[in-house]
Structure 1
Amino acid sequence: MKGMEDMKAGMEGKERRWYCVRTQTRREGIAGKILKERGFEVFGPQMRFRKKTVRGPVWFQEALFPGYVFAHFDRRHEWRGVGYAPGVRGLVHFGEQTPDIPEEFIQDLRRDLGVDETAVIEDLPRPGEEVTICEGRLQGLRVRVTNVMSATRRVQVLLEMLGRTIELEFDARAVSTDDRHPLERRRG
């Protein structure tokens, strides 16, 4: 039981703080997972966004801060467990100074990102912009955006049909700001 008492005594004197940990390129997830397995609290926020590809718009997910994660540890006593973890390159430092990250910053960022710790970046069209309808029976038609309701991620567009102008509402994901017709995008 002496070993357990020594371990508890060692934990009492620790001053855990948040630090910005530099990771190897595109290895934020691996470094974060290993640090968690070693018992450290890790925060590696993500961003989710759509990119136009040959197949049309596709969702991608990447680190919000590429090449970095935040880890909560006592730098004096636990640095080796962090610094020598696979995927880790070191701590962010400025000369001899290694700044800690304020707890409030991490908490605010976590609150803003939500439970899944992911920021969703949506490229919504702007009023007056021409877009192409990508889904449904009107797929391929070019229309002009009249209004964007960002809270509901919907757009209103003007459609000129049979000599009259009609205003329609679409989910923002159903329109594309790409200049080419959706079928042309697939070809090349």
Structure 2
Amino acid sequence: MASCRDMEDIVEDLSMRRARGWAVVNTHPHRERLALENLMRQQFHAYCPFMLERVRHARRTREVSRPLFPGYVFVELAADTRWGPICSTFGVRTLVRSGEQPSFLPGDFIEDLKIREIDGVIVAPSRSFEIGQTVRIAGGAFQDFVATIIDLDERDRVTVLMELLSRPVKVKLTSEQVAAC
């Protein structure tokens, strides 16, 4: 049977866990990796979600990992943690604050991001459309026109080919503006 002192320790431990959260750290431009490395070197539990982005340069296409939230990393902090050293870390611009206290994100938000990671990068949800699929335009000036998807963009845009005035015409739309036939 647990003593009263043991129960106090358990309650204190639970309240400390609840008092922990993920603080948002603003980094210098393109310095997320540097800030992440230096924060971890100082024994902070830091996290920066990355995603793969297709980059085209000089007729070459390659996939590069880029931060999901450019300019930001997250640091897990307890309410009583001294956060002054975070602001003087190389790569860090400032700690996002509400007044004089750090702003915290709920731990569930970060955990949901970590669940979507595969091999260190956030995986985008599967697309509902495929290249070559016939779709009906669901809104805008071309509503109810039938078109064929010719390209899918990382930014949730769809390029379709449709007949307009007896000519094939390319139109870029958002995925919300098209529906499967």
Tell me which residue corresponds to 1:56.
60
Unpaired runs of at least 5, structure 1: 1-11, 130-143, 149-188
Contact 2:24 2:73 in 1 (8 A): yes
Select the residue among 113, 118, 123 that pairs with 1:114. Answer: 118
Partner Cα distance (2:80, 2:87) in 1: 12
3-state SS in 1 of match to 2:112: helix
Partner Cα distance (1:26, 1:47) in 2: 14
- RMSD between aligned alpha carbons? 3.2
Q: Deviations over 1:70-108 (max 9, x none)?
A: 001235432122121111111123445632111111111
Tell me which residue corresponds to 2:131.
126
Taking structure 2 as the reference length, the TM-score comes to: 0.55
Tell me which residue corresponds to 2:102.
98
Opposite residue 118 of structure 2, the aligned amino acid is G
3-state SS in 2 of match to 1:52: strand
Opposite residue 108 of structure 1, the aligned amino acid is D
Unpaired runs of at least 5, structure 2: 1-12, 135-147, 153-181
Q: What is the identity percentage for the equivalent residue pairs of Structure 1 and Structure 2? A: 29
Contact 2:44 2:76 in 1 (8 A): yes
Tell me which residue corresponds to 2:42.
38
Opposite residue 85 of structure 1, the aligned amino acid is T
Contact 2:113 2:122 in 1 (8 A): no
3-state SS in 2 of match to 1:65: coil
Partner Cα distance (1:75, 1:28) in 2: 24
Aligned residues: 121
3-state SS in 2 of match to 1:78: coil
